Amino acid sequence: MDLFEYQGKQFFAQYGMPVSPGQVAFTVDEAVAAAEELGTPVMVKAQVHTGGRGKAGGVKFAADIDAVREHATNILGLDINGHLVKRVWIE
């Protein structure tokens, strides 16, 4: 089974396992809206089927909405080990 992080967390939540609240975003605007709903600070995390996301710049801490916008802009479309980032997880 090959799941994105957000899919795994949704699966765990269905079975009552505790997971941090978060939302998947496919655009910068969706990432900003998710962070506004969740409240900052948040993490902006690339969703790709490969390791090394953090080292490649695909996992960033965002203290405020401006940082969410900046990080989502930089992460969406990023190539991580040959995998194009098309979605981010905001938590």
> Domain limits of the chain?
5-90
Tens digit of each residue's pLDDT (9 = 90 or more) over 38-48: 999 999 999 99
Cα angle 88-25-43, degrees, rounded to a multiple of 5? 50
pTM metric for this prediction: 0.92
CB 42 within 8 A of CB 62: yes
- The domain made up of 5-90 has a fold known as Dna Ligase; domain 1 (3.30.1490)
For the chain, list residues with pLDDT below 50.
Answer: none
